[in-house]
């Protein structure tokens, strides 16, 4: 799967392409068949992956979505975390356009935050890269690192971000078959 996936992501925009490596927690959602999670055993201290090629070939027609969580499972460290903030237009319990615009405005002043439109083009993904990279023995520990990073970001911006974000350290799409115009557009790089 890794050579095929490397080939698949090769033409992604740079800000998305750099998020995937074989050692980053990944989910490949197929249009038909079972999704593939990398690694296996992510809740254990011994994650692993062995590709048995029981999946369709990776093509834009067969793959529905590719997502990553920022957990380097081979080194057992958190490299980055993504927070998904949705608009009410694409999620009934999402944020009103004015709320989302206000959050984006505040995040523009945070050098460490990368801001990318979600696949719908209506919400945003906020990404923080860890330096240094904290230990995360399991993907559950990675999620805890994400929750701490979200608390830091909320404190830095003065925004109640914990109420606006569903999950920390979870899979965030970097490619989807049903990406709307403007989806995954880079709004601000992290510095």
pLDDT at 92 over 70: no
For the chain, give the DSSP string: -HHHHHHHHTTS-HHHHTT--TTEEEEEEESSS--EEESB-TTSSS-B------S----TTTEEEEEEEEEETTTTEE-EEEEEE-BTTTSTTSB-HHHHHHHHHHHTT-TTEEEEE-TTSSSEEEEEE-SS--B-SSHHHHHHHHHHHHHHHHHHHT--HHHH-S-SS--EEEEETTPPTTTT-EEE---
| pLDDT tens digits along 104-140 | 999 999 999 999 999 999 899 999 999 999 999 999 9
How large is the average pLDDT for residues 148-161?
94
Residue spans per domain, the chain: 2-188
* Whole-number Å distance between alpha carbons of 104 and 116: 10
The answer on pLDDT for 144 being more than 60 is yes
Q: What is the pLDDT of residues 16-33, one digit of tens each?
A: 999 999 999 999 999 998
pLDDT, residue 88, reads: 43
């Amino acid at each position: 799967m890794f050579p095929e996936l490397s080939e698949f992501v090769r033409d992604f925009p740079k800000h998305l392409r750099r998020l995937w490596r074989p050692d980053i927690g990944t989910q490949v959602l197929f249009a038909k068949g079972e999704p593939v999670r990398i690694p296996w055993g992510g809740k254990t201290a011994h994650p692993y992956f062995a590709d048995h090629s029981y999946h369709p070939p990776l093509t834009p027609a067969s793959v529905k979505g590719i997502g990553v969580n920022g957990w380097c499972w081979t080194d057992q460290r958190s490299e980055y975390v993504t927070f998904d903030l949705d608009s009410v237009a694409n999620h009934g319990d999402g944020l009103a356009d004015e709320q989302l615009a206000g959050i984006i405005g505040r995040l523009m002043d945070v050098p460490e935050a990368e801001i990318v439109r979600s696949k719908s083009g209506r919400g945003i993904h906020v990404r923080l890269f860890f330096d240094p990279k904290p230990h995360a023995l399991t993907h559950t520990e990675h999620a805890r690192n994400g929750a701490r990073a979200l608390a830091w970001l909320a404190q830095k911006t003065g925004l109640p971000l914990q109420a606006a974000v569903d999950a920390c350290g979870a899979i965030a799409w970097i490619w989807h078959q049903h990406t709307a115009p403007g989806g995954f557009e880079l709004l601000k790089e992290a510095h």
